[in-house]
Structure formats: C-alpha cells, structure tokens
Amino acid sequence: MYISKAEYDRRVAAVKAKIAPTVTTVTTAGVRKSTEDHDVTITKENISFVKYLRGGLFNIWKNAEHEQRIFKALGSTAQTRGGLFVPDEISSVLIPRLEAQAVIRTMGCPVTTVAGFRAFKYPVQGTAPTVTWGTESATLTADDNIDFDPGTIDSHKMTCLVYTSRELAGDADVDIEAVVQNDIVKQMALAEDIAVLRGLGGTQPLGLLYQPRVNSTDLSAEIDQDDITNAIYQVTKANGTVNGWIGDPSVAWKLSKLKDAEGRYIYPQTGVVGNVGAGITNLGGAPFKATTSVGVGKYPGSSSGATADETFIVGGDWSKYMLISGSAMRIEVTTEGGDAWTKDQLGLRVVKYFGGGPLQPATFVVVKGISGT
C-alpha cells in the first residue's frame, strides 16, 4: 500500500507531537551539547569555570559563548581591581565535585543548607527515663532526670587559596579546567573530612574524636578484632547501629594482617596479591573507608601524650550526623596580591560555609590510641 508524501509528512508530524511531552533531556556537567537540527535538540549549554576566568581576565572567549553572555549580563560589576567577580552560576560547578570527593559526604549524612554563619539547633536527649515497679495503691516514683539539652551545629567559614599559571589560564588551546577545579575541590574536601573527624572546635567544627558524648575507647596499643567487636557493642547498647567506619590507611594495613587461631586472615582481601591493607573494605559487615584525613600524629588528650604517634577509627550510624553546608560558595580572583603579583600568577580564593555534628552522639564510637607505626 502506498501513501502520498503529504500523508506521510502528516503522520510523522502527528507522531512527533505525541512523543514530544515524554522526551527528557539530561545535561552532564563539563560536557558541551550541540544545537544541530535534529528531532530532539538540547539548547542549554554547561558552563565552564576556567573559560569564564579566561574570558573575564584576558578577553579570550574562544568556545565560551555562554560564559561571555553571563559576563556581559553582569556589566561593570564583573570586574574588580586586579581581579574578577565570579557569580554563583559559575562557582556552583565546583559543588558536585566537592560532594563526590569528600569521604564524609559519601557516608549517607543528612545535609542542611544554611546561609552564612547561621546555626542549626536540635534537641539532644540526655538521660533515658527510669521505669519503677510497685504494688497496688503504692506511691509512684517520678523520674525527673530525663532532659533534652539544646544542641547547636554552627557553620564555619572555610577558605582555600590556589595559585595557577597565568600563561596556562590565558592559553585558550590548553584545557586546565580539571586541574584548577580538582586543586580547589581536593583541598576543600580534605578540610571538610579533617574538621568532621578531628576538628578542634572554635573557628572550626568539633571533630568526633573530641565530642564528649561520643563513645570512646583509648587503646594505646595495637588494634585487634576484639577492639572492633567491643566498639560495635558500645553503639548497640545505645540502641544504635554501626553502618560505616572511617580510618587511616595505616589501620587498614594493620587489620589486613590479623589472623585467627588457625592462621587464616580475619579480613581476606579479594583481587589483591598479598595483604597490603588496600583490600579492607568492611569491618563487621559495615563499609570501611580509608582516608589520610584521619592521619597519624600526636593528638591532644591522648593517653600517651606527645610520646608516640597514634591514629584512630570512627564508626557509627552516619544518618545521625548532620552536615551544615553554605547555600553558595564565593570565588575571588586576583592578579595583584601576594604570589599573584610577585610570581606573575593567578590567585583564586574560595570561601565556603561548613559545619557538622552528631544528632545522637551515643550512636558513634571512636577507637583511639591505635599505634600508628
């Protein structure tokens, strides 16, 4: 059966109209999409952090039409003395990378977004109520010990300063996008992890290592399987569950060498020739993530004081740890201050607000005093 071209075109148009509402477009960060004349077109372009800097500072807008439109829309406010103002639309491209690289952000912690130095307030249960027994008509004993302490998680100002080559930044044929972004994100991710795990408080969050209500055991010795079991029990008896661990790579290395009475490795490693610690991925069925943010050092308040290098591991229910994240990050660029002037470099300063704290401290446990050597 043959149909006319006009009838064919009419049917094609009808099918297009029917499926158009069901078509969804997805934009991948860092990838340009063309706007060629296909049946389905993607017209929204992704923005480039480095291309915006290159165009705003050196007037090089090669393949940066979208960034140039943003720059022109800002008008005279786009440039400052010796630098460049980076709007939220550009700086926000760093946030997904930060969320992917910070270990603490991969543990399933809830995140609350706040503006500036605002704090998140919540009730912390102190002591549990006591149940008493009595006889008929006996006087009931009231328990007035239960209390809910007002808890506060403050946001803190964190700053990262990165210097890069002006020549590389100004060369439109050199792609330094990933280099610049990774340098900034890596340092901020490390700072977030360190603050949550061993921050000293004050101008930074108080880390789990120093939280007074978090369960804690000080070994001042080597770690073994019993220490892991005892740590899990401390959380269990507080009606919590350890669903994840964070520790230094040195702990993974130590655990990888533990053997049972028959000489078999307690934590077998798959896909690794020999036990080198890299294959330790869980403790007691809960994921274990190794990061140098934990570190090995002389921690304040440890039983050995300044006489030995120690490390620690943290386990707990990470859904009970609240992260406070600023609603935006501020990026400032300069070519005049500090090394940017003396070494003819480009300086980028990133400012962000961040904080964190346990909502239920008893659902976390720290095994500290682990020999770090």
Q: For 77-104, what is each residue's pLDDT tens digit?
A: 566 556 677 777 777 777 777 777 889 9
Q: How confident is the model over 177-182, as a mean pLDDT?
A: 71
CATH number at residue 365: 3.30.2320.10
Q: How confident is the model over 290-307, as a mean pLDDT?
A: 73
Contacts of 86 (CB under 8 A, 6+ apart): 49, 52, 53, 330, 331, 332, 333
Distance CA 54, CA 67 (A): 10
pLDDT of residue 81: 58
| 205 DSSP 8-state letter | P
| 359 DSSP 8-state letter | S
Distances (CA, A) of 350 to 157, 170, 176, 180, 242: 10, 20, 17, 12, 35
Q: What is the DSSP string of 302-330?
A: -TTTTSS-EEEEEEE-GGGEEEEEES--E
Distance CA 87, CA 98 (A): 18
Q: Residue 74: is its pLDDT beyond 70? A: yes
Confidence of residue 40 (pLDDT cuts 50, 70, 90): very low
Query: Do the domain assignments include residue 154?
Result: no
Q: Residue 321: is its pLDDT beyond 90? A: yes
Distances (CA, A) of 187 to 182, 208, 352: 8, 20, 12
Q: Residue 326: is its pLDDT beyond 70? A: yes
pLDDT of residue 29: 46
Distances (CA, A) of 152 to 110, 243, 313, 363: 15, 24, 25, 17
Which tokens belong to 117?
A: 């130095």
pLDDT of residue 209: 94
Q: How confident is the model over 305-334, as a mean pLDDT?
A: 83
Query: Do the domain assignments include residue 300?
Result: yes
DSSP-derived 3-state class of residue 362: helix
Q: Residue 24: is its pLDDT beyond 80? A: no
Q: How confident is the model over 114-131, as a mean pLDDT?
A: 63
CA 75 to chain centre: 34
Q: Can you give the pTM of this predicted structure?
A: 0.72
* Angle value at C-alpha 342, between 338 and 347, nearest 5 degrees: 45
To the nearest 10 degrees (0 to 180), the angle between helices 177-198 and 94-101 is 50
Confidence of residue 133 (pLDDT cuts 50, 70, 90): confident
Lowest mean pLDDT, pick from 9-18, 30-39, 149-158: 30-39
Lowest mean pLDDT, pick from 142-146, 176-180, 271-275: 142-146
Q: Where are the beta strands (DSSP E) in the chain?
A: 79-80, 83-86, 111-114, 120-125, 148-153, 156-165, 215-221, 244-247, 282-283, 286-290, 310-316, 321-326, 330-334, 345-358, 364-371
Condensed to tens digits (0 to 9), the pLDDT of residues 198-220 reads 999 988 899 999 999 999 999 88
Contact between 29 and 96 under an 8 Å Cβ cutoff? The reply is yes
Distance CA 273, CA 270 (A): 8
Q: How confident is the model over 155-159, as a mean pLDDT?
A: 88
Instruction: Give percent of the chain with pLDDT exceeding 90.
Output: 21
- Tell me which residue of 265, 235, 262 sits closest to 252, measured CA to CA: 265
Q: Residue 70: is its pLDDT beyond 70? A: yes
Query: Do the domain assignments include residue 261?
Result: yes
Q: Residue 160: is its pLDDT beyond 70? A: yes
Buried b (16+ CB within 10 A) or exposed e, 323-355: bbbbebbebbbbbeeeebeeeebbbbbbbbbbb
pLDDT of residue 317: 95
Query: Do the domain assignments include residue 312?
Result: yes
Which residues span the domain enclosing 296? 208-323+359-371
Query: Do the domain assignments include residue 304?
Result: yes
Q: For the chain, how many structural domains are there in total?
A: 1
Query: Do the domain assignments include residue 270?
Result: yes
Query: Do the domain assignments include residue 16?
Result: no
Query: Do the domain assignments include residue 26?
Result: no
Which tokens belong to 298?
A: 């002389």
Q: How confident is the model over 325-330, as a mean pLDDT?
A: 78
Condensed to tens digits (0 to 9), the pLDDT of residues 261-277 reads 888 888 766 665 556 55
> Which run of H or E residues covers position 186?
helix 177-198
Lowest mean pLDDT, pick from 11-25, 96-110, 166-180, 345-359: 11-25
